[in-house]
Structure 1
Amino acid sequence: MNAPLSEQRCKPCEGGVAPLSPNEAQSLMKQLNEHWQLAEDGRSIRGEWKFRNFYQAMSFVNAVAHIANTEDHHPDLEVGYGYCRMTYNTHAIGGLSQNDFICAAKVDALPRT
């Protein structure tokens, strides 16, 4: 049995592999919380979080930045007063990889206040 996504590590991806199929992506989506949505084209996942204020939003973003640097896999972020929107995809392959789901699961595991 594979370890939970949040306990796995990202593998370097420089391209040359196929993105996950829609069925593979749908299967991995079941391991993420309700914040995440699979894009209609199946090439990215997107989440949105609400916070009471800017400070909490930035604290969350800083924790996400730590995950991104540790895993060497970085989301696109949109942040403002009381919200954060995040998109993961693997640019090198033009779609989703296991890395996107590993990082999303690590975001899911962050403590929330």
Structure 2
Amino acid sequence: MSTTQTLAAQRCQHQEQALAEAEMPALLAATPGWQVEGGKLCKTFAFENYYQTLAFVNAIAWVIHADDHHPELVVTYNRCVVRFDTHSVNGGKGGLSINDFICAAKLELIAAQGSAHAG
């Protein structure tokens, strides 16, 4: 069984096959607050101000760059919406892979160190 810690300890690797639907519930349980919307793994992080929002974005930038798995980010004054998907799966059509959940778990650990909360 995956946990946030076990997922975050993994490294992203090239993926060509999307996750099976049956794999999703356990992975979602290991990444609290994340949900699948429009084929992407999504979460909104809320902050008190713009400085905290940008500090979070800067902190996650290093992690997502190191794993070479880059999400879509929507940054506003006190929120950051994160949307992961894997472009290389399903013959290049995209979908979800284990990489999305690995990075989501890493972002959870970063958020837990700061003042982010789901919003």
**What is the TM-score of this pair, normalised by structure 1?**
0.87
Residue aligning to 1:104: 104
Question: Is 1:51 aligned to residue 47 of structure 2?
Answer: yes
Q: Within 5 A, what are the aligned runs for 1:17-32?
A: 17-32=16-31
Give the superposition deviation at 1:52: 0.5
Paired AA for residue 51 in structure 2: Y
**What is the TM-score of this pair, normalised by structure 2?**
0.83
CA contact (8 A) 1:25 1:96 kept: no
Question: Is 1:77 aligned to residue 73 of structure 2?
Answer: yes
CA contact (8 A) 1:78 1:86 kept: yes
Quote the Cα distance in structure 2 between the aligned partners of 1:26 and 1:46.
15
CA contact (8 A) 1:54 1:82 kept: yes
CA contact (8 A) 1:89 1:96 kept: yes
After the TM superposition, which segments of 4 or more aligned residues of structure 1 sit over 6 Å from their partners?
none
Q: CA RMSD in A?
A: 1.6
The number of residues matched between the two structures is 107
Question: Is 1:11 aligned to residue 34 of structure 2?
Answer: no
Runs of 5+ consecutive residues of structure 1 not aligned to the other structure: none
Q: Secondary structure at the match of 1:30?
A: helix
Quote the Cα distance in structure 2 between the aligned partners of 1:87 and 1:26.
18
Give the superposition deviation at 1:92: 1.3
Quote the Cα distance in structure 1 between the aligned partners of 2:65 and 2:57.
12
Runs of 5+ consecutive residues of structure 2 not aligned to the other structure: none
Residue aligning to 1:33: 32
Question: Is 1:89 aligned to residue 88 of structure 2?
Answer: no
